[in-house]
Amino acid sequence: MSIRIGDVAPNFQAKTSIGDIDFYEFLGDNWGVIFSHPADNTPVCTTELGRTAQLKSEFEKRNVKVIALSVDSVESHQSWINDINETQNTTVEFPIIADQDKTVANLYDMIHPNASETQTVRSLFIISPDKKVKLMIVYPASVGRNFNEVLRVIDSLQLTAEYSVATPADWKDGDDVIVMNSIKTEDIPAKFPKGHKVIKPYLRTTPQPNK
């Protein structure tokens, strides 16, 4: 199954490190991040899960629930979590899916056979409260993810879901944003009273509206 941006994220039931879950029930009305790992007890994955745990408060203030996946067992996950907590000086509290039969990995197209027929690549999906896939990032197994970038794109997605704006290259929370072309220039002041700049007729910027 191939997942594309805008698709409804598939629901599933799974065993995890915190017990059995239904994915939709786990998410509730929150945003979600589901991300996969090639295997337990691997070095890059250990740093990634540790970093995610360290960022718990950042995800919470954005109303984001995080869930990880690996094709190993719950027992393996529990042992690995102890190692993560020890080596990364943190406490992993989010669930890790035990996807031994690769059901979830296949639902989300996380196995790329030309990379590995048995392990997932580093896939990451951001899911909105209406259960739509809003963003996908895929890394090879050897490259650890940048979780500051994950937070940045969540900020952008949440902002652009609420306002008629887009975010430019290298945007970060607090920077000016781009007014969508669907809004006429003469209508910008009423919609964005903080002011705006017309750089080109198709490129108009305004201060971030929710700051």
Q: What are phi and psi of 34, to 5 degrees?
A: -120, 130
Could you tell me if 163 and 209 are in contact, meaning their C-beta atoms sit under 8 angstroms apart? yes
Measured between its terminal Cα atoms, the distance across the chain in Å is 40
Look at residues 85, 52, 81, 78 and name the one whose alpha carbon lies nearest to residue 66.
52
Using a 10 angstrom Cβ sphere, with 0-12 exposed, 13-18 middle and 19 or more buried, the burial of residue 113 is exposed
Look at residues 165, 171, 156 and name the one whose alpha carbon lies nearest to residue 188.
165
CB count within 10 Å of CB 166 equals 14
Look at residues 176, 131, 172 and name the one whose alpha carbon lies nearest to residue 153.
172
List active site positions.
45
Q: DSSP string covering 73-99, please?
A: -HHHHHHHHHHHHHHHTS---S-EEE-
Q: How far is CA 190 from CA 33, 79, 200, in A?
A: 35, 57, 20
Could you tell me if 132 and 9 are in contact, meaning their C-beta atoms sit under 8 angstroms apart? yes
